[in-house]
């Protein structure tokens, strides 16, 4: 079992990587007034048939051949439902997949969000040819990281170049701190 | 507030210095198992430490990436290192603390850290 929601996000996003996506959109939307956290992981990968969508929440279904269980999606679903929230997968073959998990923010059973920035950094570091659009929202404020915009600025300098990787880390950390500043008591 | 406009300065600084490498051109490949089992066991800080060590030591010809579940979940976090000659070493029960030693001894000096390998931990 995962200890943090950010770990679930890292895990579920791997499914998008394997689905051959070129763009993965990750949104973490925290709305204290509605007592809600919504996490969406959407991709433009190969998508799934309605039958596959039915079966991915079954831990004994996996497309992998290395072992017979697939726990990533079931863990994430459980993490949402245990708080009184909800879980949904929309998918279309050839178009992509969107996984949405809604959490009751104040639930005692809600896992901490954890370090989302580290999850995004790991995804970018390991998938240098893929693009990521990360949105972190808190109330009415948001921070957006779009690797396509980063690439446009960088020309042929890759995102994995150490100085760029350091910039991405600082960009996320500083802008997240700014986003959350003043909301400590909410 | 950091803005992406700052990246232009980085690009100018890098001009001419960056040779874009393709995956096959690296001397050493470090692959961290990042399936559900790996992540749950603590692969993310291990990966982060690998990336950080490569940055700190400015190892330009070392690739850090991810691999899926290789079927030995009880040994996660697992790190596989492929040397230039194709030799694979499998490190098991990895932690961020063990990473600097593996990078220094194995990746830089070519001598695997035997006590962290699967062979030394099979039982």
Q: Do A14 and B35 touch (CB under 8 A)?
A: yes
Task: Bin A75: left if φ > 0, else alpha if -120 < ψ < 50, else beta.
Answer: alpha
Q: Is residue A69 over pLDDT 70?
A: no
**B:45-64 residues touching chain A, CB 8 A cutoff:** 45, 47-48, 51, 54-55, 58, 64
Determine, yes or no, domain membership for A154.
yes
Which has more pLDDT, A182 or B27?
Answer: B27
Q: Which of B39, B54, B68 sits opposite A7 (nearest CB)?
A: B39
Domain that holds residue A165: 5-180
For all residues of chain A together, what is the average pLDDT?
90
Buried b vs exposed e over B98-110: b needs ≥16 C-beta within 10 Å? bbeebbeebbeee
What's the mean pLDDT in A26-50? 96
Q: What per-residue confidence (pLDDT) applies to A3?
A: 84
Counting the structural domains of chain A, the total is 1
Q: Is residue A33 over pLDDT 70?
A: yes
Determine, yes or no, domain membership for A79.
yes
The CATH H-level (homologous superfamily) assignment of domain B24-121 is: Glutaredoxin (3.40.30.10)
Q: How confident is the model at residue A8 (pLDDT cuts 50, 70, 90)?
A: very high
* Structure-token match 């060590």, residue found: B53
Instruction: Indicate the domain borders of chain B.
Output: 24-121
Helix (H) or strand (E) holding A167: helix A162-180
Q: What per-residue confidence (pLDDT) applies to A163?
A: 83
Q: Do A153 and B11 touch (CB under 8 A)?
A: yes
Q: What is the pLDDT of residues B3-51, one digit of tens each?
A: 888 888 888 887 766 555 555 578 899 999 999 899 999 999 999 999 9
Q: Which of B56, B33, B57 is nearest to B44 (CA)?
A: B33
Check which CATH number belongs to the domain holding A144 and give it: 3.30.565.10
* Structure-token match 């059973």, residue found: A109
The ipTM assigned to this model is 0.83
Q: What per-residue confidence (pLDDT) applies to B7?
A: 86
Question: Does residue B10 belong to the interface with chain A, where contact is any CB pair within 8 Å?
Answer: yes
What's the mean pLDDT in A96-110? 96
CA–CA separation, A36 vs A50, rounded Å? 28
- How far off is chain A from B119, nearest CA to CA, in Å? 20
* Structure-token match 């007034």, residue found: A33
Q: What per-residue confidence (pLDDT) applies to A179?
A: 93
């Amino acid at each position: 079992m995962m200890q943090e929601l950010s770990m679930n996000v890292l895990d579920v996003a791997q499914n998008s990587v394997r689905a051959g996506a070129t763009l993965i959109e990750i949104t973490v939307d925290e709305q204290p007034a509605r007592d809600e956290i919504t996490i969406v992981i959407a991709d433009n990968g190969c998508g799934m048939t309605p039958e596959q969508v039915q079966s991915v929440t079954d831990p004994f279904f996996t497309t992998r051949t290395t072992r017979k269980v697939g726990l990533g999606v079931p863990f994430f679903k459980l993490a949402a439902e245990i708080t009184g929230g909800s879980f949904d997968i929309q998918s279309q073959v050839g178009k992509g997949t969107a996984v949405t998990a809604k959490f009751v923010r104040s639930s005692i059973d809600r896992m901490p969000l954890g370090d989302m920035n580290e999850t995004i950094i790991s995804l970018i570091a390991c998938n240098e040819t893929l693009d990521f659009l990360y949105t972190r929202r808190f109330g009415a404020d948001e921070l957006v990281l779009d690797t396509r915009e980063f690439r446009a600025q960088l020309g042929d300098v890759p995102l994995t170049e150490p100085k760029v990787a350091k910039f991405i880390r600082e960009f996320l950390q500083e802008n997240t701190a700014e986003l959350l500043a003043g909301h400590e008591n909410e | 507030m950091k803005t992406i406009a700052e990246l232009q300065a980085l690009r100018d600084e890098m001009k001419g210095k960056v040779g874009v490498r393709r995956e096959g051109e690296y001397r050493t490949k470090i692959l961290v198992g990042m399936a559900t089992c790996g992540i749950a066991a603590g692969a993310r800080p291990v990966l982060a430490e690998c990336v950080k060590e490569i940055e700190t030591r400015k190892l330009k010809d070392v690739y850090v990436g991810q691999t899926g579940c290789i079927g030995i979940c009880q040994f996660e976090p697992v790190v596989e290192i492929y040397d230039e000659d194709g030799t694979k070493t499998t490190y098991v029960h990895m932690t961020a603390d063990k990473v600097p030693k593996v990078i220094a001894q194995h990746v830089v000096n070519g001598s695997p850290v035997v006590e962290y390998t699967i062979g030394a931990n099979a039982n």
